[in-house]
């Protein structure tokens, strides 16, 4: 692997250049004790066959099981492992942020520890990187492992996000992708606390290629996601990169005002012509409840944004590190 980078390749006359690995893998672990040994078995069989230097940044995202002990055990044999131990669970996006902060490679690949991201793909990604691409996406060709409900909701999420936001989220692409150093540095410039990583990756842009794969089911352990978490993740995604949900209420409100004005005129004319003979309870109730409902939805949406502004304004750290084992 010889892709050159002017900044990183600068040699100093007196001082030897810092040894920077070509490839950094960023691997988040949250209660993955069963997965650790299998993961390193597979990943090392791939990394042994690539010709570049590498490091493996493992983030222990507040696991309550044996994950940390197993990572330390693996580190005895694999010197390239670096462990970042969080003080508690901060979530996968925070774990990846820490990984990108501490990765020093010329390119970085975030990869799940449950082997749902096939390590063999790393070689194909590196090939594309060598050809000059800055981002190489791993695209799922089929989602047959997911339930029909999950597939439909994922489809709708991407469609809605891409319709309403300025960035284009690539469909069927997770966090598993290769990022050139330039891209990593660009993402590190984004200061927001709420890290919707898929959006930040897309926001960065750069010359992008993709490689395709079939996503396998989890080998061991269980997914950390449930539908409530996914729903909140979707809201995060939409609100992080679009203000359309806020603005749409101007138009809905405008439409309702115009319609009610027309309705009012009609009632006035009718009353003038035929007198008052119109029992209005049912229609009044319906209209009032409808308006009450839409007002609450719009208030709730404003609340979503205000809540995010509040959280951002606190400027709390994205993650807290208990220990770094190098």
Shortest separation between residue 51's beta carbon and ligand UDP, angstroms: 27
User: How many binding residues for Mg ion (CB under 5 A)?
Assistant: 2
Paired tokens of 102: 């501490």
Return the closest-CA partner of residue 173 out of 149, 157, 194, 195.
157
What are phi and psi for residue 255, nearest 5 degrees?
-65, -45
If contact means CB under 5 to 8 A according to the sort of partner, which of ligand UDP, Mg ion, none does residue 180 touch?
A: none
Tell me the C-alpha to C-alpha distance, in Å, between residue 211 and each of 24, 122, 208. Answer: 19, 10, 10
Q: Give the start-end residues of each E strand in the chain.
A: 23-29, 54-60, 81-86, 107-110, 135-140, 173-180, 208-213, 321-325
Nearer to ligand UDP by C-beta: 32 or 85? 32
Shortest separation between residue 125's beta carbon and ligand UDP, angstroms: 18
Shortest separation between residue 19's beta carbon and Mg ion, angstroms: 33
Cβ 125 vs Cβ 200: under 8 Å: no
Q: Does 114 bind Mg ion (CB under 5 A)?
A: yes
Shortest separation between residue 200's beta carbon and Mg ion, angstroms: 20
By CB atoms closer than 10 A (0-12, 13-18, 19+), residue 105 is buried
Shortest separation between residue 105's beta carbon and ligand UDP, angstroms: 19
Nearer to ligand UDP by C-beta: 28 or 105? 28
Contact positions vs ligand UDP (CB under 6 A): 28-30, 32, 61, 89, 91-92, 95, 112-114, 116, 223-225
- Find the part of the chain contacting Mg ion (CB under 5 A) among 61-69, 91-99, 116-124, 302-310: 116-124
Nearer to ligand UDP by C-beta: 49 or 87? 87
| Residues at the interface with Mg ion (CB under 5 A) | 114, 116
């Amino acid at each position: 692997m010889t892709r050159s980078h002017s900044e990183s390749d600068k040699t100093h006359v007196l001082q030897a250049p810092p040894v920077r690995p070509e490839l950094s893998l960023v691997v988040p672990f949250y209660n993955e004790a069963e997965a650790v040994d299998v993961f390193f078995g597979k990943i090392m069989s791939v990394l042994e066959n690539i010709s570049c230097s590498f490091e493996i940044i493992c983030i222990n995202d507040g696991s309550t099981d044996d994950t940390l002990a197993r990572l330390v055990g693996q580190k005895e044999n694999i010197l390239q492992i670096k462990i970042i131990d969080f003080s508690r669970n901060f979530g996968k996006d925070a774990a990846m942020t820490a990984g990108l902060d501490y990765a020093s490679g010329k390119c970085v690949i975030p990869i799940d520890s449950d082997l749902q991201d096939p390590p063999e793909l790393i070689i194909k990604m590196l090939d594309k990187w060598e050809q000059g691409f800055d981002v190489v996406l791993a695209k799922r060709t089929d989602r047959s492992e997911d339930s029909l409900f999950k597939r439909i909701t994922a489809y709708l999420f991407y469609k809605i996000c891409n319709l309403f936001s300025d960035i284009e989220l690539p469909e069927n692409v997770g966090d598993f992708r290769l990022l050139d150093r330039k891209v990593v540095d660009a993402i590190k410039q984004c200061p927001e606390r709420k890290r919707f990583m898929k959006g930040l990756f897309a926001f960065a842009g750069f010359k992008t290629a993709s490689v395709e794969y079939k996503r396998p089911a989890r080998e061991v352990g269980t997914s950390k996601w449930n539908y409530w978490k996914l729903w909140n993740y979707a809201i995060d995604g939409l609100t992080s990169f679009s203000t359309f949900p806020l603005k749409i209420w101007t138009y809905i409100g405008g439409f309702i005002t115009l319609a009610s004005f027309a309705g009012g005129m009609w009632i006035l004319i009718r009353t003038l012509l035929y007198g008052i003979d119109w029992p209005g309870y049912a229609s009044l109730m319906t209209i009032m409840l409808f308006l009450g409902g839409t007002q609450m939805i719009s208030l709730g949406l404003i609340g979503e944004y205000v809540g995010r502004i509040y959280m951002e304004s606190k400027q709390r750290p994205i993650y807290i590190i208990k220990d770094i084992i190098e």
